[in-house]
Chain A
Amino acid sequence: EIVLTQSPGTLSLSPGERATLSCRASQSVSSSYLAWYQQKPGQAPRLLIYGASSRATGIPDRFSGSGSGTDFTLTISRLEPEDFAVYYCQQYGSSPETFGQGTKVEIK
């Protein structure tokens, strides 16, 4: 099983600032099958990024993903008020699919 470790656990930032979230895998993620989701309280996760760097339909270009192998990054170039949420990475290249423990982006 591939274990995904996200850091930091919590990121305290102000609107307009840049957010950089990390996701490290315990072994190489097959074919960069790495996704990022955003989850707000009481809501289902929302797919942001797939294939490590491709934005899902309707996702603003302030969200970008990068990385390969075992190290992946989600960057939010300028935080908007609606971006404060919990973010999860997920590998879906090998079974069982696994999620990271999440990074909370909170308002400073």
Chain B
Amino acid sequence: AQSVSQHNHHVILSEAASLELGCNYSYGGTVNLFWYVQYPGQHLQLLLKYFSGDPLVKGIKGFEAEFIKSKFSFNLRKPSVQWSDTAEYFCAVKGADSWGKLQFGAGTQVVVTP
């Protein structure tokens, strides 16, 4: 069965600090990987996605994620966060060979203090 684990439920950091959010998945096959973000009062938005090729993918707003197949990981990073990055971040996985459901992690609430 698919599963996604996000290591931190809550992260608090100051502006300009670096951010790294962990995501590990369990899936018996080739996967597509996603990070979604939910800003306060807004709907889920796609931050970035990995389908194939270069394991380092860049998304919107200066975010990037690295797919490490041997570790079943897809960690999200941003070198210098801003107050506007305060949001909840969700990692999700889907089998690459099928249409259908995304399996989400429980999410990480990130609070950036001025």
Do A and B interact?
A: no
